[in-house]
Amino acid sequence: MMMKKTALACAFAAVSWCAVAAAASDDFTLCKSRYALCTTAKCTPIPGKEGEVSCACDVKTGYSAGLQACQNAEQTASGELKSRYYPVKYYAVCSNSRPWAWCLDKPCTVDKDNPSKASCACSLVKDQGDYVIVTDSYNDSTCTTDIWSSATVQQITQVTNFLKSRDQLKPFPIKIVNSQK
């Protein structure tokens, strides 16, 4: 019965965050490849594409986690990457209804003029519960300005728990910078 409710809720929500919300930690994949890292990415609306934002992400090579398999070297050489997760050391917890960007496994294009950067097309989401902003400091504007690539506290906990059981990419101890939240 619970599985039916989760599936139904995901179908109605029609955004990709449902995949992680319902995912068990065994649903993640860990691999070594070239990928886009969006954990600290600032995002802007895409004109004419309601519900989508463009996020300025970093291009990395190494181990990462996601819900989809890694791309091979031929695929990433074309300049097309997927956004994946790499462990964070700190974050702020935000408890408001502001929108944020969901980027995990989203398509990205490497910047031809700056191959260390990629533009990723992410989903704009909100009202999913407490979410995180990856930052090492907190002030009154942290959770109230701009659109940032993010995840819910539940989602980051799930991927962190997954990584704790893997040898290739161990998570860091996470410091919550606004621990009074």
Whether 18 shows a pLDDT value over 80: the answer reads: no
Q: What are phi and psi of 75, to 5 degrees?
A: -65, -45
Model pTM? 0.82
What's the confidence (pLDDT) of residue 26? 62
Can you read off the two tokens belonging to residue 18?
A: 């449902």
What's the confidence (pLDDT) of residue 70? 83
Domain that holds residue 135: 2-176
Does 82 reside within a domain? yes
What's the confidence (pLDDT) of residue 13? 35
Does 181 reside within a domain? no
Q: Tell me the three state secondary structure of residue 105.
A: coil
Does 129 reside within a domain? yes
Does 51 reside within a domain? yes
Whether 16 shows a pLDDT value over 50: the answer reads: no
Does 116 reside within a domain? yes
Does 157 reside within a domain? yes
What's the confidence (pLDDT) of residue 25? 52
Q: Of 181, 18, 157, which is closest to residue 96 (Cα–Cα)?
A: 181
Q: How many domains does the chain have?
A: 1
